[in-house]
Amino acid sequence: MDLATFIGIVTGVVLIVVSIMLNGDISAFFDPASIMIVVGGTLAATMVKYTMKDVLGVMGVLRNAFRSQDNIQSEIVAKFVELAKITRKDGILAVDRELSKIEDPFMRDGLMMAVDGNEPDTIRNIMETELNYLQGRHRKGSAIFSAMGEYSPAFGMLGTLIGLINMLRALDDPSNIGAGMAVALVTTFYGSVLANLVFLPLSGKLKNKSEEEVTQKELIIEGVLAIQQGEHPRNINRRLLNFVPPKQRAANQKELETASK
């Protein structure tokens, strides 16, 4: 689990709540009507722009923001080095016995095509097509949260306007002006918090996670093609380590090189 996402949101909420409590009454910041306007309006506008399937499907993409992929690339490189040793010893058909041990379906399907004797260009085209569709799904998920980050402040302002209108209608009682103004501004507060602490950061996080996953898939494509072509384990190790971040590469290179001998 990527704790940074969870810790960031929780820390932001806690700091806001504590700062409110240090300077006033937190109950003044709770208004059901304002919540309905901001949250409900944001969801409604999002569903106008996107299909219901897209909005509901974004929850599957959202899991990526909380999923950690530390050292995954290094593990994939080590696995390909192991498969390369098997291939050089017993032939590529021996890889078929290892497929059931591979959890990643993208990697497993690619190796299955290699075992079945498909040409390298065919394998690359099929796997890159799947990768393109993956990128499209991730882009849409990020775009939905970005749109919600744009809509929530707008509906916060809309709620403020509604509150001001209601307040101006009651100017005959000056004692209600202060309370009315406070309630009117609460919706802007909700919209700003949701946009800047939740929706826009999640959109950016999903973009970063998508780039990481694309790099991982590209590593797998190169690894599958190297296995299909029967490259030496040491050459595969050197070739695939280019996809590993420098810090992880420095920490794992000795182990991977030892495994490739």
Low-confidence ranges of the chain (pLDDT < 50): 259-261
Burial of 137 (0-12, 13-18, 19+ CB in 10 A): middle
Task: For the chain, give the DSSP string.
Answer: --HHHHHHHHHHHHHHHHHHHHHS-GGGG--HHHHIIIIIHHHHHHHHHS-HHHHHHHHHHHGGGG---TTHHHHHHHHHHHHHHHHHHH-GGGGGGGGGG---HHHHHHHHHHHTT--HHHHHHHHHHHHHHHHHHHHHHHHHHHHHHHHHHHHHHHHHHHHHHHHHTTTT-GGGHHHHHHHHHHHHHHHHHIIIIIIHHHHHHHHHHHHHHHHHHHHHHHHHHHHHTT--HHHHHHHHGGGS-HHHHHHHHHHHHHHT-
Our CA dihedral for 75, 77, 82, 86, rounded to 10 degrees, sits at 140
pLDDT of residue 260: 45
Pick from 78, 80, 77: nearest CA to 227: 80
Pick from 44, 53, 68: nearest CA to 140: 53
Residue-range domain boundaries for the chain: 3-72+121-259
Q: In this structure, how many other beta carbons lie within 10 angstroms of the beta carbon of residue 12?
A: 15
pLDDT of residue 22: 87
For 173-224, the pLDDT digits (tens) are 666 666 667 777 889 999 999 999 999 999 999 898 888 889 899 999 999 9
pLDDT of residue 107: 93
The pTM of the full predicted model, rounded to 2 decimals, is: 0.79
Token duo for residue 243: 């996809």
pLDDT of residue 179: 63
pLDDT of residue 252: 53
